[in-house]
């Protein structure tokens, strides 16, 4: 755990008592602060009490007066669509509102030799890129900690030792609010519409991501340039085309020019500097990174660890041993030439499109709690789909948008897996890529993916 000493002897509010909130409470207490913890749910307050913190109702009139700061969890709105009442009271009273990511960077600022910090943000591929960076560093013998949006509260980690690295996945909620951002290497994977209600539209969403680079001032910025926003960001950060502080990354296009670039084409990763190629890696045999979207993740991770001093041969060995993350193009197993792949994390159209482009012949399981626009944006990517199996609340709405693609409304995961497995032919992939949220049938995308995996394992064991 990291003891946060910046508020020693002062009252600090903590709003939201999930994983990161409880870790924040413990870190502030260890640093000598008086913690005023609150969660709107009785379950959250009960967890706090079990951890030794007495809840203080910050929603009461005047409760935020005298607070040195309010530390809020990322899931709580601080501006759009409307600030949480406690945050609104703090904004009126002039109480600084911050988050645990900022406290982490504040804590490093006072150290003589802090660890290097790599931060990864973007719309899709953040978790895989973060995990891959940590894996490559660990395989090369570096002391690594991984935290942030990927599942571990950053203040709950123990800092790595000499020459160590902390790798953080950061969501737009986290980058938008943090008062202090100071990564050594910052990675921008890509941008597609998501969380627009929380950012007041696409411009606000991009601005939240952009803060990591413009206010964080990383020594090295790794920027995916396959979208206009990435190209714009790279232009803003670089002094010129030859500026090696900015590494441009792409999947599908050759990047030229006098600067530093890493790109993947036809399954091969290439690194170019100063107008010449300096390294190349064949990504095709790497089962943990299937498809062009994962090749983009590989390029971003490669660039980040190159910026930290790893050699191409070290990176190539680490890539070969990477097994991928659960629920992200995760191979569950194979039977009679049919592979079963869990991409439950594909909760929006853009991530589902990338999954559909990763395999040539697909039995596609999709559906759940559909988002605005449904799956209309996936129509250009349905050529590889032999048949679709629709589940959940949006099953019938999604089916109406499939055009001539064969489909079946299955409603439940059990029926969809059984039908797809029964009809799949050798060489095909049964792919769960829902293009929808999970909350109609599951508490989160992880539980949805776990259910799919369990059903497949039952089939494979039959």
128 is in an annotated binding site: yes
Report which secondary-structure segment, H or E, holds 43. helix 42-50
47 is in an annotated binding site: no
Buried b or exposed e, range 409-439, using 16+ CB within 10 angstroms: ebbebeebbbbbbebbeeebbbbbbbbbbbe
250 is in an annotated binding site: no
**Paired strand residues for 280:** 270
CB 100 within 8 A of CB 23: yes
Q: What is the dihedral of CA 208, 211, 180, 58, to 10 degrees?
A: -10
125 is in an annotated binding site: yes
Cis peptide before 81 (omega within 30 of 0): yes
Rounded distance, CA 378 to CA 369, Å? Answer: 16
124 is in an annotated binding site: yes
Residue where the block lists tokens 């939201």? 16
126 is in an annotated binding site: yes
Residue where the block lists tokens 């949480």? 84
DSSP 288-314: TS-HHHHHHHHHHHHHHHHHTT--HHH
Q: Give the Cβ contact number of residue 399 at 10 Å.
A: 17
Angle between helices 19-30 and 100-109 (to 10 degrees): 30
CB 122 within 8 A of CB 189: yes
127 is in an annotated binding site: yes
CB 389 within 8 A of CB 419: yes
Q: Side-chain half-sphere of 43: how many Cα atoms within 13 Å?
A: 2
CB 298 within 8 A of CB 132: yes
Rounded distance, CA 354 to CA 291, Å? Answer: 8
**Residue 367 main-chain phi, psi, to 5 deg:** 125, 175
Residue where the block lists tokens 């005298």? 66
**The total number of residues written for the chain in this structure:** 462
Binding-site annotation, residues: 122-128
Binding-site annotation, residues for ATP: 122-128
């Amino acid at each position: 755990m990291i003891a946060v000493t910046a508020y020693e002897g002062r009252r600090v509010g903590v709003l939201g008592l999930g994983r990161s909130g409880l870790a924040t409470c413990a870190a502030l207490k260890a640093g000598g602060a008086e913690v005023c913890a609150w969660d709107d749910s009785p379950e959250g307050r009960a967890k706090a009490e079990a951890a030794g913190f007495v809840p203080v109702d910050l929603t009461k009139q005047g409760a935020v007066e005298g607070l040195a700061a309010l530390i809020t969890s990322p899931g709580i709105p601080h501006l759009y669509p409307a600030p949480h009442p406690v945050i609104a009271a703090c904004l009126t009273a002039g109480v600084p509102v911050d988050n645990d990511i900022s406290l982490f960077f504040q804590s490093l600022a006072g150290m003589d030799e802090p660890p290097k910090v790599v931060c990864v943000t973007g719309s899709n591929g953040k978790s895989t890129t973060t995990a891959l960076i940590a894996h490559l560093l660990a395989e090369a013998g570096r002391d690594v900690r991984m935290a942030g949006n990927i599942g571990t509260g950053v203040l709950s980690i123990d800092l790595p030792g000499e020459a160590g690295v902390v790798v953080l996945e950061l969501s737009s909620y986290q980058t938008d609010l943090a008062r202090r951002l100071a990564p050594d290497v910052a990675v921008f994977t890509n941008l597609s519409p998501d969380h627009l209600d929380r950012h007041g539209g696409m411009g606000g969403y991009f601005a939240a991501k952009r803060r990591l680079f413009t206010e964080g001032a990383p020594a090295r910025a790794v920027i995916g340039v396959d979208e206009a926003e990435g190209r714009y960001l790279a232009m803003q950060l670089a002094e010129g085309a030859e500026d090696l502080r900015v590494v441009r990354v792409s999947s599908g296009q050759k990047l030229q020019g006098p600067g530093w670039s890493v790109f993947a084409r036809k399954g091969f990763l290439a690194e170019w500097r100063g107008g010449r190629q300096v390294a190349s890696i064949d990504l095709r045999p790497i089962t943990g990174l299937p498809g062009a979207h994962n090749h983009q993740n590989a390029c971003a991770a490669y660039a980040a660890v190159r910026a930290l001093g790893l050699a191409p041969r070290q990176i190539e060995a680490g890539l070969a041993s990477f097994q991928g993350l659960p629920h992200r193009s995760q191979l569950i197993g194979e039977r009679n030439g049919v592979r079963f792949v869990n991409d439950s994390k594909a909760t929006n159209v853009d991530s589902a499109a990338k999954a559909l482009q990763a395999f040539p012949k697909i039995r596609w399981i999709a559906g759940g709690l559909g988002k605005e626009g449904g799956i209309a944006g996936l129509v250009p990517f349905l050529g590889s789909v032999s048949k679709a199996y629709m589940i959940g609340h949006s099953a019938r709405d999604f089916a109406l948008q499939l055009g001539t693609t064969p489909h079946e409304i299955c409603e439940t995961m059990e029926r969809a897996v059984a039908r797809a497995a029964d009809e799949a032919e050798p060489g095909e992939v049964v792919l769960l890529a829902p293009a929808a949220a999970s909350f109609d049938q599951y508490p989160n995308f992880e539980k949805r993916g776990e259910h799919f995996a369990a059903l497949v394992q039952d089939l494979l064991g039959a």
